[in-house]
């Protein structure tokens, strides 16, 4: 149900433009000083002689990704797939540079047509960030199963840009910038001659292999020293559960320390991103291991029937690029049936339901824009609702885990039933 029928919606049908030369020049003038300051090194593999059009699949770490991508594809230009919130107050500029709008974690056939236009009509590179959000702990996020089908349909080469150091320079849980030298691996994983013969699963397999990254492992292996006083401040947003007492949402952090307010266990992060417990046994020294421990805990709650989230939420709507519209207070439930948002706005009943198979992941924000608090957003094809829990604290990371694990469980169950029926 949509209560804002009188509000103009973002025009998703407008075709992406080919970037004019003067805006391409401006993009270079912005990007190159940024990447030079971080001494970016691009390692190109199987790229000799490749010219647009092709699909460029990029890992997603931080805002600097766009500068790295611009430098990596030089001297060529691209149409970039950009989330709706990126268009706020700058729609004219983004349309002029050829950006393609997307609402995150929606099944959008229009996007396929826009990508096709960028490739076939504009003869451009089309740059896609399929993880659809910044990595939370510097490891690979889930990519959609449809990615291989999309690449197969477009019938152009496929390139992966796997970036390193971007996340470490500005992790999503603490946006203060750090000095880190950057690298990127730019690899043609599917050639023009292969795109016809490979099936979508084979393409997905190649994408999955090329997308593997672990930024803390990379930092340690390459000895990237980050001697930044507040290097662990905000880490409790992603490491929200104590591995010692198993208490959730009682972690806190400051400077180079993270600790549990329930059992008082404390860890310190060294200059190479490793953790060490200072008042007990070190259970996790590698941040992604702690993160995956939390995921497994949520998965087991779902399997045992003990997972459920419920809270009142402040609801903002983003129907277009003009900015957010405060709707009021709603009520959000998340369980094995998926998300259910209810409320009464402008004296009208409102309900939005998202079943598990409709979202393979979720977009979350920490302390959004520095003033709104943590949020999770749910999108339809013509609106995005930003939801801010009122009573529950530091819960959005768990909501994202639960979204992904519910999708995988329902999806795998559906496949198993289909295979069983075929055998019968």
Q: pLDDT digit string (tens) for 112-123?
A: 999 999 999 999
Burial group, residue 298, by CB count within 10 angstroms (0-12, 13-18, 19+):
buried
* Segment among 139-143, 289-293, 414-418 with least mean pLDDT: 414-418
pLDDT tens track for 38-80: 999 999 999 999 999 999 999 999 999 999 999 999 999 999 9
Exposed, middle or buried, 140 (CB in 10 Å: 0-12/13-18/19+)? middle
DSSP 358: G
Q: Which CATH number fits domain 21-222: 3.40.1130.10, 3.40.50.2300, 3.40.50.300, 3.10.310.40?
A: 3.40.1130.10
How far apart, in Å, do the first and last CA atoms of the chain sit?
Answer: 40
Q: What is the DSSP letter of 199?
A: -
Q: How confident is the model at residue 387 (pLDDT cuts 50, 70, 90)?
A: very high
Distance CA 333, CA 183 (A): 42
Residue pair 145/204 in contact (Cβ under 8 Å)? The answer is: yes
Q: Phi, psi at residue 316, to the nearest 5°?
A: -115, 145
List the domain boundaries for the chain.
Answer: 21-222, 235-303, 309-423
Distance between CA atoms of residues 45 and 33, nearest Å:
24
- The answer to whether the beta carbons of residues 275 and 287 sit under 8 Å apart is yes
* Residue-level pLDDT at 1: 39
Sheet of 125-128: strand order equals 41-45, 183-190, 158-164, 54-58, 125-128, 78-83, 100-102
The C-alpha atoms of residue 116 and residue 349 are separated, in whole angstroms, by: 39
CATH topology (fold) of 309-423: PH-domain like (2.30.29)
Q: What does the pLDDT read at residue 2? A: 45
Task: Write the pLDDT tens digit of every residue in 152-185.
Answer: 999 999 999 999 999 999 999 999 999 999 999 9
Q: What is the pLDDT of residues 292-308, one digit of tens each?
A: 999 999 999 999 999 99
């Amino acid at each position: 149900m949509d209560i804002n029928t009188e509000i103009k919606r973002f025009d998703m049908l407008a075709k992406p433009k080919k970037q004019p030369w003067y805006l391409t020049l401006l993009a270079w003038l912005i990007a190159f000083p940024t990447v030079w300051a971080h001494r970016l090194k691009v390692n190109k593999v199987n790229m000799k002689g490749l010219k647009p059009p092709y699909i460029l699949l990029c890992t997603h770490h931080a805002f600097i990704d766009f500068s790295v991508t611009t430098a990596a594809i030089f001297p060529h230009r691209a149409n970039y797939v950009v989330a709706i919130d990126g268009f706020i107050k700058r729609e004219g500029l983004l349309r002029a540079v050829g950006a393609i709008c997307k609402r995150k974690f929606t099944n959008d056939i229009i996007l396929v047509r826009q990508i096709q236009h960028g490739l076939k009509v504009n003869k451009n590179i089309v740059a896609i960030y399929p993880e659809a959000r910044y990595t939370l702990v510097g490891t690979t996020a889930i990519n959609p199963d449809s990615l291989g089908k999309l690449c197969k349909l477009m019938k152009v080469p496929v390139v992966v840009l796997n970036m390193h150091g971007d996340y470490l320079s500005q992790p999503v849980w603490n946006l203060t910038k750090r000095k880190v030298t950057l690298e990127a691996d730019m690899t043609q994983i599917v050639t023009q001659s292969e795109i016809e013969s490979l099936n979508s699963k084979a393409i997905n397999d190649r994408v999955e292999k090329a997308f593997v990254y672990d930024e803390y492992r990379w930092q340690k292996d390459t000895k990237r020293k980050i001697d930044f006083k507040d290097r662990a401040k905000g880490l409790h947003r992603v490491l929200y559960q104590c591995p010692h007492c198993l208490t959730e949402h009682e972690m806190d952090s400051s400077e180079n320390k993270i600790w549990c307010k329930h059992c008082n266990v404390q860890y310190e992060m060294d200059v190479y991103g490793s953790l060490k417990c200072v008042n007990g046994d070190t259970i996790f020294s590698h941040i992604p291991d702690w993160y995956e421990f939390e995921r497994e805990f949520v998965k087991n709650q779902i399997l045992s029937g003990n997972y459920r989230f419920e809270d009142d939420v402040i609801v903002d709507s983003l129907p277009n690029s003009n900015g957010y519209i405060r709707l009021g207070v709603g009520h959000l439930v998340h369980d094995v049936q998926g998300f259910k948002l209810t409320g009464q706005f402008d004296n009208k009943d409102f309900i939005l339901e998202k079943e598990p198979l409709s979202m393979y992941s979720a977009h979350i924000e920490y302390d959004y824009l520095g003033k709104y608090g943590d949020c999770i957003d749910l999108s339809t094809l013509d609106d995005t609702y930003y939801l801010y829990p009122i009573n529950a604290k530091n819960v959005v990371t768990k909501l994202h885990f639960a979204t992904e694990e519910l999708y995988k469980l329902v999806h795998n169950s559906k496949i198993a039933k289909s295979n069983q029926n075929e055998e019968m």
